Amino acid sequence: MKKTLIALAAVAAVSAASAQVTLSGGVRAAMQNSGVAGAETIVSGNDVSVNNLTFTASEDIGGGMVITGSYTMRNNLMTGEVSSGQDATTVAAGNANWRNTSIQLSGPFGAVKAGRFGLSGLFAYDPFGATGAIATYASGAYSGGRYNNMIQYTTPNMSGFDAVLGVTIDGVAANEDGRWMILNFNQGPMSARIYSETGLGTVLTQYTTSGAGASYNLGVATAMVGYSTTKVQATSAATAEYYTIGGTVPFGSATAKIAYHRNTVASADTVAFGVDYALSKTSGLFADIAKLSANANPTWQIGIQKAF
Amino acid sequence: MKKTLIALAAVAAVSAASAQVTLSGGVRAAMQNSGVAGAETIVSGNDVSVNNLTFTASEDIGGGMVITGSYTMRNNLMTGEVSSGQDATTVAAGNANWRNTSIQLSGPFGAVKAGRFGLSGLFAYDPFGATGAIATYASGAYSGGRYNNMIQYTTPNMSGFDAVLGVTIDGVAANEDGRWMILNFNQGPMSARIYSETGLGTVLTQYTTSGAGASYNLGVATAMVGYSTTKVQATSAATAEYYTIGGTVPFGSATAKIAYHRNTVASADTVAFGVDYALSKTSGLFADIAKLSANANPTWQIGIQKAF
Amino acid sequence: MKKTLIALAAVAAVSAASAQVTLSGGVRAAMQNSGVAGAETIVSGNDVSVNNLTFTASEDIGGGMVITGSYTMRNNLMTGEVSSGQDATTVAAGNANWRNTSIQLSGPFGAVKAGRFGLSGLFAYDPFGATGAIATYASGAYSGGRYNNMIQYTTPNMSGFDAVLGVTIDGVAANEDGRWMILNFNQGPMSARIYSETGLGTVLTQYTTSGAGASYNLGVATAMVGYSTTKVQATSAATAEYYTIGGTVPFGSATAKIAYHRNTVASADTVAFGVDYALSKTSGLFADIAKLSANANPTWQIGIQKAF
């Protein structure tokens, strides 16, 4: 019964080469313990980045130009709730639904994108990324912001470089508009990013966060470094300053991950080690353990995930 | 991840043919200014009619009969919120999700449809339709209502005519039931509609709205006229009375739009001019400008949209 | 995370048969009367079990193992609202969305499933199931519970038998964790289930419900029996005790349904009779009538539904 996509293919076949809708997403769950003294081990959705459902429609309109529309919903696999990433004071009850929504026109000139969507931050330079109980960059500068009424321009790739410039334009005087500038370099084994973002984000204080990250694929391993700082704009007081070093090492279907992370403002550090094991190209197991200086006990998670 | 529907169709093709689900929708964004004195120009989702996601399942059960189920969600592309079109006092917090939901059985006898869905109003006879900052019929009678617990009968097409009759049956004594009657004529270049609707709509006062619209495709242009009035049922006081005249003129990939609109109750009028430019069968640019007598400055919008 | 998605997309492009996403669900509506004295006949969505939208991704990862992710949303076809099945006191306003969400790994060892999902209860042994105005088991023990942070193990099928064992592990001290044990037998014409569940469910009192059901397909008819009782755990006071006997009889495209149901705690009984008529493999009409001893008038419903 659940015959789904026949119809769409049939439609797509008769109508000219028009839109193509793709449905993607993922599910993830783990047994985990936060490491806080007395914390119970729980069954957790473990992260909201994998647990998503995304609808994307992309159309080549000729002249090297592509129009793309996208809706992404992030889900809590353990409660059935969605997380729109919006501050509770800014959304009408019952309406927050999509985490990322956008329309983009890309072409030889680069790409212009409007909507509400998450900025990339520096997660790409963290071996543990934005995932689960052990997210060494879990708070502060490494995690990019998300705003209403965004418009963003990305340059074409030039010798491995591209730049991203964006602002929010919402007409609300009480909001100081968000703005961001990102410089990316990706060529061969090398990847690097310089990142600067100013805005309200999901907290109602204007802040500026800036930093940089880099990774280099040595073949037997990929090394990663990063630095980031966040300051309250009104006072220039730093709320976080992170240093990170780490890497990943592939062993067949497995990938070992290691990271050391220090927040100088909180005088806190994290040492983390983990292994990802691929069950297929889109699914896998993971087992991670970390010691946060702030916690009495180790933080750990053992789980499974599947992207689709 | 990201499996195109076409790829899935290959999988689905082996199972017996049963239901067909289609996934459609759209995205739209614009730079716009409302024209109100002091209003800032913003990046906007611009309208909720294009920004939707729709799931439709349709099945031919033989004898000329088709069963169709449909779910439509309208989205704010700039905030990630959904708009269910329900009065805030009538929905439980956190539950309003779908704007239109229905099941329909159609056949030689016509069509019977039950659910919650928007009535057509007279938007079809407005060159600017239900879109964006410049919706000449934006409020009042031209915008059809939407109710809970609707049931509607549509006659078969007879020489270009069909009639739509519907009521709401919700068993709630405090609600005066909604009811509507629509007569459509569509043949060759001519389209016309007579419209009458009584109900609570999204405001909690019983009202009656009635009107008529017509369009004629002259080839070089399509002319449109419309009239509509809305009265509070208890007092017969008119809350709005609209006169509209306008048209569209195609120029290759472009379509020019012009409309004059007068609300005699508010002694307000609107002159609007705009151009749509098709980038493909399902995507395009638009640039519109209008002067509302109530506003100090012109209302304008420049944007892009894509249906899928 | 965008980066991850892009990487996965590239992977998906080269891999032939990886994940398969299916989109399924249904729509249902009826004219119905509850039979309560003075109750008005209404147009109703009639049940939330058929009115759903479900996204399922399933992947064979070799070795007889399959990973499955699933998201299910239940909809009210007459109001556009969703029902997450969560207690209003336990969800943040605006966030409750999915009714069932899970990830499952199955293989020769059985199946392990984590997430939030409904337990099966004993609906399979009720000719009227979980549907509509006439749900003879509508409340209490026959309706399985639903929890946050569930983890469940199902044994492989052994000579027709399988067992299901599960707990909730949410780390919240105020919640007494849910737990359930289900023994199923299905072979040839015989189906039976022994069911026991303890937990908070959607009411905030810890209860234990247990029971058993069986059905036997005689060819000309299928006979069904069931028994179930629910007790408040703190006091052992029974809140419900149900006895049920019934059956279904196929006549070509039609299926007659009959059931007698008694709740000894409430000294209430129900006699129900109905007919389902298949319009296709996935759509049909239904007409049911019942007399509940508690109601002045008969309960009835006439409607149409379509699964997709």
Structural domains of chain C sorted by starting position, each given as residue range(s) with its CATH number in brackets: 21-307 (2.40.160.10)
Which residues of chain A are within 8 Å of residue B67 when distances are taken between CB atoms? none
As a whole number of angstroms, the distance between CA A84 and CA B75 comes to 13
Residue-level pLDDT at C193: 96
Residue C7: pLDDT band with limits 50, 70, 90: very low
Q: What are the distances in angstroms from CA A64 to CA A102, A104, A108, A171, C93?
A: 20, 14, 6, 33, 44
Region A234-263 average pLDDT: 92
**Nearest partner of B79 among C96, A146, A22, A175, judged by Cα:** A146
**Nearest partner of A196 among A184, A177, A179, A175, judged by Cα:** A179
Residue-level pLDDT at A89: 67
Query: Where would I find the beta strands (DSSP E) of A188-298?
Result: 190-199, 207-217, 222-232, 238-251, 254-263, 268-278, 283-292
Kindly report the nearest CA distance between residue B223 and chain C, in angstroms: 36
Region C124-149 average pLDDT: 73
Q: Do residue B3 and residue C12 have CB atoms under 8 angstroms apart?
A: yes
**Nearest partner of B3 among C16, A99, A71, judged by Cα:** C16
Per-residue pLDDT for B15 more than 80?
no
Which backbone phi and psi does B162 adopt, to 5 degrees? Answer: -145, 155
Query: Where would I find the beta strands (DSSP E) of chain A?
Result: 20-33, 42-44, 52-62, 65-74, 100-107, 110-116, 150-154, 161-168, 179-187, 190-199, 207-217, 222-232, 238-251, 254-263, 268-278, 283-292, 299-307
**Nearest partner of B286 among B74, B46, B24, B53, judged by Cα:** B46
Q: Do residue A67 and residue B283 have CB atoms under 8 angstroms apart?
A: yes
Q: Do residue C304 and residue B99 have CB atoms under 8 angstroms apart?
A: no
Lowest mean pLDDT among B32-36, B291-295, C200-204: C200-204
Q: How many CB pairs under 8 A join A and B?
A: 204
Which backbone phi and psi does B6 adopt, to 5 degrees? Answer: -65, -40
Token look-up 């020019």 returns: B256
Strand C222-232 and strand C207-217: the pairing is: antiparallel
Q: Is A299 helix (H, G, I), strand (E, B) or coil?
A: strand
Per-residue pLDDT for C68 more than 80?
yes
Per-residue pLDDT for B17 more than 90?
no
- Residues contacting residue B138 through CB under 8 Å, at least 6 positions apart: none
Residue-level pLDDT at C128: 87
Q: Do residue C21 and residue B8 have CB atoms under 8 angstroms apart?
A: yes
Kindly report the nearest CA distance between residue A270 and chain B, in angstroms: 32
Residue-level pLDDT at A41: 93
Region C108-118 average pLDDT: 97
Q: Do residue C116 and residue A91 have CB atoms under 8 angstroms apart?
A: no
Q: Do residue A5 and residue B9 have CB atoms under 8 angstroms apart?
A: yes
Mutation for B interface: C3, C89, C283, most B CBs within 10 A? C283
Kindly report the nearest CA distance between residue C263 and chain B, in angstroms: 28
Taking CA–CA distances from A73, the nearest residue in chain C reads C97
Q: What are the distances in angstroms from CA A227 to CA A190, A192, A241, C272, C296?
A: 17, 12, 8, 70, 73
Q: Do residue B304 and residue A103 have CB atoms under 8 angstroms apart?
A: yes
- Residues contacting residue B242 through CB under 8 Å, at least 6 positions apart: B137, B140, B141, B142, B211, B226, B227, B228, B229, B261, B262, B263, B264
Tens digits of residue pLDDT in C248-260: 999 999 999 999 9
Q: Do residue A103 and residue B306 have CB atoms under 8 angstroms apart?
A: yes
Residue-level pLDDT at C115: 97
Q: Are the beta carbons of A122 and A226 closer than 8 angstroms?
A: yes
Token look-up 């600017």 returns: B128
Residue-level pLDDT at A49: 83
Which residues of chain A are within 8 Å of residue C86 when distances are taken between CB atoms? 79-80
Which residues of chain B are within 8 Å of residue C79 when distances are taken between CB atoms? 86, 91, 116, 148-149
Q: Is C176 helix (H, G, I), strand (E, B) or coil?
A: coil
Taking CA–CA distances from B91, the nearest residue in chain A reads A94
Q: Is B61 helix (H, G, I), strand (E, B) or coil?
A: strand
As a whole number of angstroms, the distance between CA B19 and CA C54 comes to 14
Q: Do residue A21 and residue B5 have CB atoms under 8 angstroms apart?
A: yes
- Quick count: other Cβ atoms within 10 Å of Cβ B43? 23
Residue-level pLDDT at B18: 39
Tens digits of residue pLDDT in B70-83: 999 999 999 998 98
As a whole number of angstroms, the distance between CA C73 and CA C99 comes to 5
Residue-level pLDDT at C187: 96
- Residues contacting residue A62 through CB under 8 Å, at least 6 positions apart: B280
Token look-up 């097409």 returns: B157
Taking CA–CA distances from A1, the nearest residue in chain C reads C308
Per-residue pLDDT for A50 more than 60?
yes
Which residues of chain A are within 8 Å of residue C8 when distances are taken between CB atoms? 24, 282, 307
Per-residue pLDDT for A9 more than 60?
no
Per-residue pLDDT for B91 more than 70?
no
**Which chains, if any, share at least 3 CB pairs under 8 A with chain A?**
B, C
Q: Do residue A7 and residue B21 have CB atoms under 8 angstroms apart?
A: yes
- Residues contacting residue A134 through CB under 8 Å, at least 6 positions apart: A128, A270, A272, A274, A288, A289, A290, A299, A300, A301
pTM of the prediction? 0.91
Tens digits of residue pLDDT in B142-189: 677 888 999 999 999 999 999 999 999 988 766 667 899 999 999 999
Mutation for B interface: C15, C22, C23, C27, most B CBs within 10 A? C27
| DSSP codes, B247-264 | EEEEETTEEEEEEEEEET
**Nearest partner of B52 among B85, B19, B11, judged by Cα:** B85
Give the residue, B47 or B44, on which the prediction is more confident: B44
**Nearest partner of A161 among A192, A189, A123, judged by Cα:** A192
Kindly report the nearest CA distance between residue B233 and chain C, in angstroms: 24
Taking CA–CA distances from B169, the nearest residue in chain C reads C42
Region C35-49 average pLDDT: 88
Q: Do residue B11 and residue C23 have CB atoms under 8 angstroms apart?
A: no
Residue from the list B18, B29, B88 with its beta carbon closest to the beta carbon of A114 = B29
Return the amino acid letter for B304. I
Q: Do residue B4 and residue A16 have CB atoms under 8 angstroms apart?
A: no
Give the helix/strand (H/E) hosting B47.
none
Which residues of chain C are within 8 Å of residue A138 when distances are taken between CB atoms? none
Residue-level pLDDT at C93: 56
Longest dimension (CA), chain C: 65
Tens digits of residue pLDDT in B182-239: 999 999 999 999 999 998 755 567 888 899 999 999 999 999 999 999 898 888 888 8
Which residues of chain B are within 8 Å of residue A18 when distances are taken between CB atoms? 280-282, 308
- Quick count: other Cβ atoms within 10 Å of Cβ A228? 24
Backbone dihedral region for residue A133 (phi beyond 0: left; psi -120 to 50: alpha; all else: beta):
alpha
Q: Do residue C24 and residue A41 have CB atoms under 8 angstroms apart?
A: no
Query: Which one of A120-129, A295-304, C38-47 scores highest in mean pLDDT?
Result: A295-304
Per-residue pLDDT for C146 more than 90?
no
Sign of the CA dihedral with C34 first, then C35, C36, and C42 last: positive
Tens digits of residue pLDDT in C217-241: 999 999 999 999 989 888 888 888 9
DSSP H helix total and E strand total for chain C: 1, 17
Residue from the list C9, C24, C59 with its beta carbon closest to the beta carbon of A1 = C24
Kindly report the nearest CA distance between residue B216 and chain C, in angstroms: 36
Kindly report the nearest CA distance between residue B61 and chain A, in angstroms: 15
Q: Do residue C149 and residue A81 have CB atoms under 8 angstroms apart?
A: no
Residue-level pLDDT at C271: 93
Taking CA–CA distances from B168, the nearest residue in chain C reads C43
**Which chains, if any, share at least 3 CB pairs under 8 A with chain B?**
A, C
Strand partners for B300: B33, B289
Lowest mean pLDDT among A136-140, A258-262, B2-6: B2-6
Kindly report the nearest CA distance between residue A29 and chain C, in angstroms: 7
As a whole number of angstroms, the distance between CA A122 and CA A167 comes to 19
Q: Mean of the per-residue pLDDT values for chain A?
A: 86
Sign of the CA dihedral with A6 first, then A11, A12, and A13 last: positive
Residue-level pLDDT at B146: 87
Lowest mean pLDDT among B97-111, B130-144, C202-216, C217-231: B130-144
Lowest mean pLDDT among A9-23, A222-236, C118-132, C281-295: A9-23
Region A197-201 average pLDDT: 79
Which residues of chain C are within 8 Å of residue A23 when distances are taken between CB atoms? 21, 23, 55
Give the helix/strand (H/E) hosting C11.
helix C2-14
Region A99-128 average pLDDT: 94
Kindly report the nearest CA distance between residue C280 and chain B, in angstroms: 6
Per-residue pLDDT for B13 more than 80?
no
Taking CA–CA distances from C113, the nearest residue in chain A reads A29
Q: Is A227 helix (H, G, I), strand (E, B) or coil?
A: strand
Residue-level pLDDT at B12: 32
Per-residue pLDDT for A283 more than 90?
yes
Kindly report the nearest CA distance between residue B268 and chain A, in angstroms: 25
In angstroms, how far is the first alpha carbon of chain C from the final one?
32
Taking CA–CA distances from A115, the nearest residue in chain B reads B78
Per-residue pLDDT for B2 more than 50?
no
Region C121-142 average pLDDT: 71
Region B116-125 average pLDDT: 90
Kindly report the nearest CA distance between residue C295 and chain A, in angstroms: 35
